[in-house]
Each structure stands twice: as structure tokens, then as C-alpha cells.
């Protein structure tokens, strides 16, 4: 029996596992086989909307998108294996983290979904951070709830359930009001020892809003926290029809705890073990580092969340990464085309990126800022892309490209330096994924120099969060007794993974530190440009 026939028979027998992730611009489904590799996929493109000063998605569009994504998956399975997808060994839902979905006692949505993208909770974020002595980002669910309280919004007294997008979909598919630890950590601060919401902070919040006389306590509103591998219910008949109105999909499929996209990204890059982490670098950039212990104090630059298994994670998120770098590469493309050259963009990126490795370790005294938008890590509400040099700077192509690669990670390094230098966090390795790492070896080496840590890039990193949640669903039904998520990923998923690792080069580390001294001093130039309205 050939490979295609073997897969066909396993799909027919209901042994495949499904993962679905709702990203900001695409809903993606991935079906995996018993060897954990993707065998079919489906997708549906969608966009958020800005309605009444709120970034939102309509709930009808959520289900339209899920159904469209599943139809696309079913079509792919049919075309590849000539079989109808009717049953599964397990399934899981992942989505954008945080935000605000509030429901009344009848399960009706009280206000339009307020996504992670909204920055309307500044007052609540500041007051809660002070109350808890714990950094509460604006996008967290508790910040949205308290801001609604401060705003005097009528719906607050009617709230009986709060959840995230993944938690909402899972609830409708299974009837279970639960949430994976990683996503729950974006709703309310966690007590890592208990793998649950922090009880002291729950009580503090209740005391904070006591005078309002609401008919609820905060714990009553939040979904139950589950860690990877715990029972999160099964697909009901109603849930099966929500995913597949044709009625082909059978109920009873085990569902893993719903997770956020950060947790599934960590899973998909084998970055859930203590002293490991990952960096996703594209238009924006963020780093996730799994900690051995709590930080000594809160930092505005660092969010604390968890892995799907409940281990503490420090998250450094920056708004800007490759946009300015890409714009400069586009300028070189225009130059080449003006001379009548036919430009291959992959070759152009590769040539210019590799040229950067010929530059001086400190970029020859050049300075650049990639701030297309504001950058909270360095205290900017808006940004200005800048390139600055002095008469003494060594201005050549290699240094020019190197400085733009350096600055694409400048804000990230500012946050990572807090972890590594102030908190003495040790990382054995970082997994890199995203557009910055597409040119082999270059982005890896720059990042390794920035954070003085070995950086690995795997071929499977591009599979994304839908694959990550499929792996978490597979872990639910195929893990051995006592097998941790870390061991499952290392021994059953990534044991034969192909990839490359680059250790930090001493000259790069020293050069990056010298560049960052200039970068920090030069923020005054960036501030002057913003203040002058240039």
C-alpha cells in the first residue's frame, strides 16, 4: 500500500487530527497524520473592521470564516485522497489572544468583540498595574473589563461570562467554558504554582469594584483554566453543525483546551521547554522566553504569559521590525529597474542581506530607526523612520544594510536586555521564524549577536499556529502516561526535524552593544523628529 493509500485509510478511519487557528487576516485549518506532519489544509481570508472607534470582527463572520475554512479543507482532502472527511481523532481551536468578549446570562454578546488591536484601555491598564504590582497590557481582557467599568458602560452589570475568541468558539463547539493556560494568561494574571488565576489579585479586583454593586465576582466571569493534555470536552451535535452545516462531520470528537496564537507558535517551534524561546520577526517582532522563575519586579516592556503547559513566559512585543528594511530593498529594486535590469526579489534580498555580513560589527558608526509606528518599548506613541550618519561614519553598502538589520531588532534587544542583563535569565536557544530569517543564516546571525544566544531555524517553523494547535490536540489523545508536552514535542515531533543553528559571534555581540549605545542616545533625534511633526 502506497503512502497516499495509507493516509486515505487513516482519514477514513477517523484517525487524523485537526487544528484551526483564527489569525488576524486568515483562518487556517491543518490536518495531521500519525507522524505529526500536515497532510491537508484549508483557509479563509478575512479582515478586522473599525466600527465606532473599535477594532472588531462580526461574530457572523467568525462562523462564516470557520465554515469556509473547513469547506476548503474538506475539498483538499477530497482532491488529494478521494475520501470524505467525517470523523477525527481529536481537534483544537486557536485564535488571536486577549481582547474582550462579554456575554449575558442567556449567552448573548453584550457589545461588539473588542480585539487585541484596540488601545482604548490606557487608564485601566495603568491603574490595574499599580494595584497588582504586575504589568497589565492594554490588550488584556481584564483591562477591557475595568475600562468599561470606568467608562460607566451600561452592559457591565449584565456580564456573566468573559472569554477570548478561541474560548468563545470552543464554548460553542463543546458547551465547555474553558481556556488553555496560555490564552487565559492574557485574560487575567496567573499563579504559576497553581496553574490558575492569581487568587490574591482576584480578591483585589473584587475589592476595587465593590462599590459599584455588580452582581458578580470576577472569578465567576472567567473560563476555567486548563493546561495542555487536560480534557476540554467533545464536539457536540450543535458544534459539528456549526463547523460543517452539510452534516458530514460527526460529533463526539475530543477537543483539546483552546489556545492563543502565542502558545501555538511556541508549540510549532518546539519552544515550550524552560530556558528556550522563540522570536517571530516580520512586520512586527516578538520574543517569548520560558522562565525558570518569576521576575524580581514588573516591567512595562515585558508581558508575562504562560506556555500551553502552564510554565511562565516573558513576552517582549515590538510594533516595528522589517517594514523600513523592506522599503530600502524596494529602493534598490527601483534603482536596478531604472537600468533595465530584471530583478528577482529573493535574489535581491539575499544579495543585500549577505552584503551586511561584510560590514563593521558596529555598523561603522551609522544609525537608523525603523519606527513606522509608535514603539512602547522605547516610549514612542508614533514613529519616524530615520537614517543618520556623521562625517566620520564609514558609509558603504555593507554598513548601510547592516545598520538596518540591526535596528530592525533594536527595540526587541532593549526588552531582551532587561531579561538577560537585569533579571539574569539564561536561554539555551532561541527558535527564529518569520520573514527576517528567510535569507539563510543572515537574520539568525544578527539575532544571535543581539541577544548573545544560539539561534535555530527549522524547516517546519513555517507551518504556523494551525499546526501548533493540531499538535496540542494530538498530544491530548496520543501522549503516554506522565509524558510532558516538552518530551512529547522533543521525542515525537521534532526528533528528526531539519534546521540550522548559529552561535553568537563575539565580534557581533560586542559590535551590537556599541551600536546600542548610539541607538539609545540617538532616541533624542527620533523624539525631535516626532515632536517637530516632520
DSSP string across 237-303: HHHHHHH-TTS-S-S--BBPPPEEHHHHHHHHTT--STTEEEEEESSSEEEEEE-SS--SS--TT-E
Selected from 3.40.930.10, 1.10.290.10, 3.30.420.40, 3.90.1170.50, the CATH number assigned to the domain covering 268-320+426-502 reads 3.30.420.40
d(CA 3, CA 485): 28
Q: What is the pLDDT of residues 304-350, one digit of tens each?
A: 999 999 999 999 989 899 999 999 999 999 999 999 999 999 999 99
Strand 429-433 versus strand 386-388 pairing type: unpaired
Confidence at 225, pLDDT banded by 50, 70, 90: very high
- pLDDT above 70 as % of the chain: 99
Nearest-10 crossing angle of helices 442-451, 506-531: 90
Confidence (pLDDT) at 459: 73
Residue indicated by cell numbers 494574571: 189
* DSSP secondary structure code for residue 422 in this structure: I
Q: Where are the alpha helices (DSSP H) in 151-229?
A: 165-174, 181-184, 199-208, 218-221
- pLDDT above 90 as % of the chain: 88
Confidence (pLDDT) at 389: 97
- By C-alpha distance, which of 302, 367, 320, 323 is closest to 516? 367
pLDDT beyond 90 at 283 = no
Strand partners for 19:
30, 92
Confidence (pLDDT) at 147: 98
Residue 300 burial (10 A CB sphere; 0-12, 13-18, 19+): middle
Domain boundaries, the chain: 3-260, 268-320+426-502, 323-408+507-531
Confidence (pLDDT) at 460: 60
Confidence (pLDDT) at 499: 82
d(CA 115, CA 168): 13
Burial annotation 240-250 (CB, 10 A radius, 16+ → b, else e): bebbbeeeebe
The model's pTM is 0.89
Q: Grid coordinates in use for 111?
A: 457589545
Q: What is the pLDDT of residues 458-507, one digit of tens each?
A: 876 556 889 999 999 999 999 999 999 999 999 999 988 778 899 999 99
Given this chain, do its domains 3-260 and 268-320+426-502 carry the same CATH topology?
Answer: yes
Residue indicated by cell numbers 516591567: 299
Contact between 530 and 380 (Cβ < 8 Å) = yes
Q: What is the pLDDT of residues 440-459, one digit of tens each?
A: 999 999 999 999 999 999 87
Contact between 167 and 233 (Cβ < 8 Å) = no
Confidence (pLDDT) at 438: 87
* DSSP secondary structure code for residue 139 in this structure: T
pLDDT beyond 80 at 1 = no
Strand partners for 21:
28, 94
Confidence (pLDDT) at 448: 97
Dihedral sign (CA 449, 451, 454, 459): negative
d(CA 282, CA 408): 9
d(CA 403, CA 359): 9
pLDDT beyond 80 at 202 = yes
Contact between 11 and 85 (Cβ < 8 Å) = yes
| 62 CB-near residues (< 8 Å, 6+ apart) | 22, 165, 168, 169
Q: What is the pLDDT of residues 387-397, one digit of tens each?
A: 999 999 999 99
Confidence (pLDDT) at 80: 96
Q: Hey, what CATH class is 3-260 in?
A: alpha beta
Query: Where does residue 514 fall: left (phi above 0), alpha (psi -120 to 50 degrees), or beta otherwise?
Result: alpha
Q: What is the mean pLDDT of residues 223-230?
A: 98
Q: What is the mean pLDDT of residues 222-237?
A: 98
Amino acid at each position: 500500500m502506497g503512502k497516499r493509500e495509507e493516509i486515505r485509510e487513516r482519514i477514513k478511519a477517523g484517525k487524523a487530527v485537526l487544528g484551526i487557528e483564527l489569525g488576524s487576516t486568515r483562518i487556517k485549518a491543518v490536518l495531521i497524520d500519525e507522524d505529526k506532519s500536515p497532510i491537508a489544509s484549508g483557509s479563509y481570508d478575512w479582515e478586522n473592521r473599525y466600527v465606532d472607534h473599535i477594532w472588531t470582527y462580526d461574530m457572523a463572520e467568525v462562523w462564516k470564516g470557520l465554515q469556509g475554512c473547513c469547506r476548503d479543507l474538506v475539498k483538499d482532502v477530497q482532491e488529494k485522497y478521494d475520501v470524505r472527511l467525517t470523523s477525527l481523532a481529536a481537534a483544537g481551536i486557536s485564535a488571536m489572544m486577549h481582547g474582550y468578549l462579554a456575554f449575558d446570562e442567556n449567552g448573548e454578546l453584550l457589545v461588539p468583540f473588542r480585539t487585541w488591536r484596540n488601545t482604548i484601555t490606557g487608564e485601566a491598564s495603568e491603574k490595574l498595574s499599580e494595584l497588582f504590582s504586575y504589568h497589565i497590557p492594554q490588550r488584556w481582557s481584564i483591562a477591557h473589563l475595568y475600562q468599561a467599568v470606568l467608562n460607566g458602560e451600561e452592559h457591565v452589570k449584565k456580564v456573566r461570562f468573559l472569554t477570548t475568541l478561541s474560548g468563545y468558539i470552543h464554548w460553542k463547539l463543546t458547551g465547555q467554558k474553558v481556556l488553555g493556560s496560555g490564552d487565559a494568561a492574557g485574560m487575567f494574571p496567573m499563579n504559576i504554582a497553581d496553574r490558575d488565576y492569581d487568587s490574591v489579585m482576584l480578591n483585589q479586583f473584587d475589592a476595587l469594584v465593590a462599590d459599584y454593586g455588580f452582581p458578580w465576582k470576577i472569578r465567576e466571569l472567567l473560563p476555567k483554566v486548563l493546561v495542555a493534555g487536560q480534557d476540554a470536552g467533545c464536539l457536540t451535535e450543535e458544534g459539528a453543525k456549526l463547523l460543517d452545516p452539510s452534516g458530514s462531520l460527526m460529533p463526539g470528537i475530543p477537543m483539546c483546551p483552546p489556545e492563543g496564537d502565542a502558545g501555538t507558535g511556541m508549540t510549532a517551534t518546539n519552544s515550550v521547554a524552560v530556558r528556550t524561546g522563540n522570536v517571530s520577526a516580520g512586520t512586527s517582532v516578538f520574543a517569548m522566553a520560558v522562565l525558570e522563575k518569576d521576575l524580581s519586579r514588573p516591567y512595562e516592556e515585558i508581558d508575562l504569559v504562560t506556555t500551553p503547559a502552564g510554565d511562565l513566559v516573558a513576552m517582549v512585543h515590538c510594533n516595528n521590525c522589517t517594514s523600513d528594511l523592506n522599503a530600502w530593498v524596494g529602493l534598490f529594486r527601483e534603482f536596478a529597474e531604472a537600468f533595465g535590469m530584471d530583478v528577482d526579489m529573493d535574489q535581491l534580498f539575499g544579495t543585500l542581506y549577505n552584503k551586511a555580513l561584510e560590514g563593521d560589527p558596529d555598523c561603522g558608526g551609522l544609525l537608523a530607526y525603523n519606527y513606522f509606528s509608535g514603539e512602547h518599548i522605547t516610549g514612542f506613541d508614533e514613529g519616524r523612520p530615520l537614517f543618520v550618519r556623521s562625517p566620520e561614519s564609514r558609509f558603504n553598502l555593507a554598513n548601510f544594510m547592516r545598520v538596518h538589520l540591526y535596528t530592525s531588532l533594536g527595540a526587541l534587544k532593549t526588552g531582551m536586555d532587561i531579561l538577560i542583563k537585569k533579571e539574569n535569565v539564561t536561554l539555551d536557544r532561541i527558535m527564529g521564524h518569520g520573514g527576517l530569517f528567510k535569507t539563510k543564516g543572515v537574520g539568525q546571525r544578527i539575532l544571535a549577536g543581539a541577544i548573545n544566544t544560539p539561534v535555530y531555524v527549522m524547516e517546519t517553523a513555517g507551518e504556523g499556529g494551525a499546526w501548533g494547535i493540531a499538535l496540542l490536540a494530538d498530544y491530548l489523545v496520543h501522549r503516554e502516561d506522565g509524558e510532558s508536552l516538552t518530551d512529547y514535542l522533543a521525542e515525537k515531533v521534532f526528533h528528526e526535524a531539519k534546521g540550522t543553528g548559529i552561535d553568537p559571534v563575539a565580534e557581533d555581540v560586542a559590535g551590537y552593544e556599541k551600536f546600542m549605545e548610539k541607538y539609545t542616545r540617538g532616541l533624542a533625534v527620533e523624539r525631535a523628529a516626532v515632536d517637530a511633526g516632520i
